[in-house]
């Protein structure tokens, strides 16, 4: 199935968004935890890592989501 067809499916978009939010939250919590040990939080780096994790999650989801293989 063509990956761009997934973008037309609302179920896929919702599932991919949920995964992206969860992945971004995990990245942010990891960065905040590591920064707390250093005693200074560089918010630019936390935000950058969080956004990059969300983008990578969406790109990974283009390969397919097991729970929505029948989508579209």
> CA 40, CA 38: separation in Å to the nearest integer?
6
pLDDT beyond 90 at 52:
yes
DSSP 8-state class, residue 2 = -
Nearest to 12 by CA among 26, 2, 34: 2
Tally of domains within the chain: 1
- What pTM does this model have? 0.73
Using CA atoms, how far apart are residues 24 and 61, in angstroms rounded to an integer?
14
Tell me which residue range forms the domain holding 26: 3-68
Encode pLDDT of 8-50 as tens digits: 678 888 888 999 999 999 999 988 887 777 777 788 888 899 9
């Amino acid at each position: 199935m063509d990956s761009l067809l997934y973008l037309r499916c609302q179920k896929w978009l919702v599932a991919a968004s949920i995964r992206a939010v969860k992945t971004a939250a995990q990245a942010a919590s990891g960065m905040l935890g590591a920064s707390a040990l250093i005693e200074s939080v560089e918010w630019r780096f936390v935000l950058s890592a969080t956004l990059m994790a969300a983008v990578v999650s969406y790109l990974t989801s283009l390969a397919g989501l097991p729970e929505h293989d029948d989508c579209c």
